[in-house]
Amino acid sequence: MSGIIELLRKKRSGNELSSEDIAKFVNLTVTGTAEDSQIGAMLMAMFINGLTNEETIALTKSMVDSGETLSWRPEDIVVDKHSTGGVGDKVSIPLVPALAACGLKVPMVSGRGLDFSGGTLDKLESIPGYQVNCSTADLKAKLSEVGCFIVGANKQLSPGDQILYRVRDVTATVDNLSLCSASILSKKVAEGTKYLVIDVKVGEASFFKTYEKAKEMAELLVRKIKNLRRLLLKQKMEIKASFFKTYEKAKEMAELLAFPTLISFHVICFVSTHLYPHYLLFYNFILKFYCFYSAGVVEDINGIILAKVTHALGAGRTFASQPINHSVGVRLTKTCGDFVVAGEVWVEVHHSQPKESIQSLLYDIEHAITIREDPSSTDHGKLVLEVVM
């Protein structure tokens, strides 16, 4: 069987890897035999040359087989959801306990931020003391006791994905359909879910910029999940700006603390933030800067620009071991379609640097938001575009 150099040479040259080749690569990754530079080189070769359907399925299965697979009682209705991610997307955090309260079992294995998009685990870690790394014994006990959990992949559960996910984040190999789908489904199969809903985000602030690319991803997931003998309901949802209004991990959690006060779940994008001041007691914010805009209606919020700003403030990673500053970011109290009064404070920048050093970022924020004087011409389109079974 080929060593890592031979595998790299084979994929670099555009040849198809066999199931044995891919299993070998994942094994070398998990055992630490392959260095991060070699893992990154393989991911880039896969990204550039592409993966066949057979290679993608083999990669998914090898990642599942790299660790344990959880099993649950036959009478349990075990469900989960996964999002391909986008700026400000945090539906999982309120949804999981809501489903558990309805009697379902939700063993969610989630991920960290990728590229410009903040991760569910990073948001949860803004809560002091929250643990995302748990043993399988602990997970089984928690599911039995509470009915749900949100944790990350670890050395026991999908360790192959844990490593590849981390390296993809810092090697510009995130937005590849095959690598994305293998990462998503390996975690979901390993956690033992029986019913899975995946929402594929499409738009400026997501990994899939066009409807066509998002649909291709949805159909790929459906094909793969059938091969992996799981039931999948695939739903695409548009995310042009964000579901929520805040681009900062501690602030996003403050929004979610207020979520149970909502009457209707489907208006999640209008979640209250009245607990926000109380949550700030956990953090020592050094500086605030307030942005002002003219009167009108918020027509557009460019989530990608805001995500890059928060990354530059310290809320993102440029190398795998870089810590995240949970206390910096941008807080918006308005969203698309809301009316703004001239001089109203609705954009806050939380930072730990002198104002002079972030002037370019403030300029970026100013140009990320479009205000239209005439509200009648503003059309935000549909939230749910299509369901693929």
3-class secondary-structure state, position 321 = coil
Provide the pLDDT for residue 298: 87
Residue 311 annotated among the catalytic residues of the structure: no
Q: Please enumerate in sequence order all residues whose Cβ is within 8 A of that of 162, keeping only pairs 6 or more positions apart, or say none.
A: 152, 153, 154, 155
Of residues 11, 24, 61, 81, which has the active-site annotation? Answer: 81
What tens digit of pLDDT does each residue of 269-293 get? 332 222 223 323 333 344 555 566 6
The bridge status of strand 287-291 relative to strand 384-388 is: unpaired
Residue 266 annotated among the catalytic residues of the structure: no
Residue 36 annotated among the catalytic residues of the structure: no
Please give the single-letter amino acid code of residue 226: K
Of residues 24, 29, 66, 80, which has the active-site annotation? Answer: 80
Residue 168 annotated among the catalytic residues of the structure: yes
Residue 158 annotated among the catalytic residues of the structure: no
Of residues 168, 215, 249, 311, which has the active-site annotation? Answer: 168
Of residues 187, 236, 249, 350, which has the active-site annotation? Answer: 187
3-class secondary-structure state, position 148 = strand
Q: What is the dihedral of CA 82, 85, 387, 108, to 10 degrees?
A: 10
Domains defined for the chain, CATH in brackets? 285-372 (3.90.1170.30)
Residue 142 annotated among the catalytic residues of the structure: no
Structure tokens that stand for 31 in this block? 């055992």
Of residues 24, 90, 105, 188, which has the active-site annotation? Answer: 188
Of residues 11, 24, 61, 82, which has the active-site annotation? Answer: 82
Distance CA 243, CA 239 (A): 7
Provide the pLDDT for residue 281: 34
Of residues 120, 173, 246, 310, which has the active-site annotation? Answer: 120
CA 314 to chain centre: 18
| Nearest-10 crossing angle of helices 36-49, 159-169 | 80
Residue 188 annotated among the catalytic residues of the structure: yes
Of residues 56, 83, 158, 206, which has the active-site annotation? Answer: 83
Residue 178 annotated among the catalytic residues of the structure: no
Please give the single-letter amino acid code of residue 131: Q
pTM above 0.75, yes or no: no
Listed in sequence order, the DSSP H helices in 204-354 are 211-227, 249-257, 276-279, 303-310
Q: Please enumerate in sequence order all residues whose Cβ is within 8 A of that of 62, keeping only pairs 6 or more positions apart, or say none.
A: 19, 22, 23, 25, 26, 27, 160
Distances (CA, A) of 154 to 132, 134, 322: 9, 8, 18
Residue 181 annotated among the catalytic residues of the structure: no
Burial (0-12, 13-18, 19+ Cβ within 10 Å), 362? middle
Structure tokens that stand for 176 in this block? 């590849």
Please give the single-letter amino acid code of residue 335: T
Q: Low-confidence residues of the chain, pLDDT below 70?
A: 1-2, 88, 113-118, 228-293, 375-383, 389
Provide the pLDDT for residue 26: 97
Q: Please enumerate in sequence order all residues whose Cβ is within 8 A of that of 82, keeping only pairs 6 or more positions apart, or say none.
A: 184, 187, 188, 196, 197, 198, 199
